[in-house]
């Protein structure tokens, strides 16, 4: 199972840039483009991509349409925190799925026992 790529999303209500990437984005962004929010796609430990959006509504805000994408080469130290958090999130998801599957097996076994017991009664 590969960790990459994964996406870090900004706040859907307030836009912006995901934590830890704002300075890097500000250095690399197109200066003449008005933007509202950007996703960060981590493609590897040295390659990220910003997906930049405009504002959906001038009155209520919200993330609008994609206006451009920008690939950036970074130092490993720039993405080690997000990579660690994503690895932990994925590991947690796997553990939760295993627990869910184990629970379903127990429920199904119990259901079969109850069905057998009911058939014995009849």
Q: What is the pLDDT of the chain when averaged over all its residues?
A: 89
Phi, psi of 43 (to 5 degrees): -85, -30
Per-residue pLDDT tens digits for 51-77: 999 998 888 888 899 999 999 999 998
Domain ranges for the chain, please list them.
Answer: 6-121
The token duo for 94 is 């796997």
Per-residue pLDDT tens digits for 94-117: 899 999 999 999 999 999 988 888
d(CA 73, CA 45): 9
Least confident interval from 7-16, 49-58, 70-79, 80-89: 7-16
Which percentage of the chain shows pLDDT scores above 90?
Answer: 43
For residue 60, what are the contacts with CB-CB under 8 A and spacing of at least 6?
none
Whether 73 contacts 12, CB under 8 Å: no
């Amino acid at each position: 199972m590969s960790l990459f790529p994964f996406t870090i999303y900004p706040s859907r209500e307030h836009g912006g840039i995901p934590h830890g990437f704002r300075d890097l984005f500000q250095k690399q962004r197109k200066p003449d483009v008005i933007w509202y929010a950007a996703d960060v796609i981590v493609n590897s430990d040295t390659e990220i991509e910003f997906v930049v959006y405009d504002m959906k509504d001038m009155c209520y805000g919200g993330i609008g349409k994609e206006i451009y994408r920008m690939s950036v080469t970074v130092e490993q130290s720039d993405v080690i925190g997000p990579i660690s958090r994503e690895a932990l999130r994925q590991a947690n998801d796997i553990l939760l799925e295993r627990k869910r599957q184990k629970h379903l097996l127990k429920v199904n076994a119990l259901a079969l026992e109850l069905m057998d017991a009911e058939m014995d009664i009849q």
